[in-house]
Each structure stands twice: as C-alpha cells, then as structure tokens.
Amino acid sequence: MTDRPSVLFVCVHNAGRSQMAAGWLRHLAGDRVEVRSAGSAPAESVNPAVVAAMEEVGIDIADQKPRILTSDAVEVSDVCITMGCGDVCPVFPGKRYLDWSLPDPAGQGVAAVRPIRDEIEQRVRTLLAELGV
C-alpha cells in the first residue's frame, strides 16, 4: 500500500498528449506521485515529434511504449485524466475524473507540438498543487 496519489492519463493512441502529461508529472513530482498512461487504441510507438518536443525541455520519454487502457488501471488510480478519448474510459465510484481538452499532436511537427506541451505542463503543475504535492 502507498499513500502516494496515483494519476492515470488517457488519450486514444497513448502516443502524444498522455505521454507528455505522464512525462511532465514524473519530472515534476518524482516519486511523490504514481504515474500511469494508457490509450483506448494504442499506437505502435510514441509520436517522434512529441519525443523531440519533450527532449527540448530536458524530459526523455523516448523509452515509453503506448499501452492499452484497462479497467484495472482506472480502478487503482486516484485521478483519471482523459484527453480526447470520449466515453471509452471506464468509470468507477470514488474516482476523480478530469477531461483536458487539448489538440491532438498526431501528424504534427515539433513546432505544433510545443504549445500543446507547454499547456500540458501548466495543467500538470496545477494538478500537483491540487494534490498537495
């Protein structure tokens, strides 16, 4: 058992927004928060433009792999943050759900990913403050 809060980030392909959010949360919170990310229809790999944009701010997510969303991942998370995945996320009583409306970086270059990355950073910082981390 852990008293650390746990956060699950979900987007369709788990190759862009959710990977950036997880990267930011790991970077900013260290081991004070348990971080997960998943997708309803995971891609084969993380978007290279997303990896490059995160590298620009000193966060390496090149080793991350898209994962399928499971009910178990939602059930063991305190907060579930969706990003454009619609109604595919299972709902469990007592969980906190947030929906972050963010542009999809799929098919975009690094220049288009940067503002999405920066918006995610601000939202993750706000989340950390709300979690008291």
Length of the chain: 133
Alpha helices in the chain (DSSP H): 17-29, 48-56, 71-75, 110-131
Strand partners, 129: none
- Catalytic residue (one of 7, 8, 10, 11): 11
Q: Among candidates 5, 24, 1, 11, which has minimal Cα distance to 123?
A: 24
Q: Which of 12, 80, 85, 113 is catalytic?
A: 85
Determine the Cα–Cα distance for residues 38 and 55; give it in Å rounded to an integer: 21
Catalytic-residue membership of 80? no
- List 61, 69, 73, 89, catalytic entry: 89
The catalytic site residues sit at 11, 85, 89
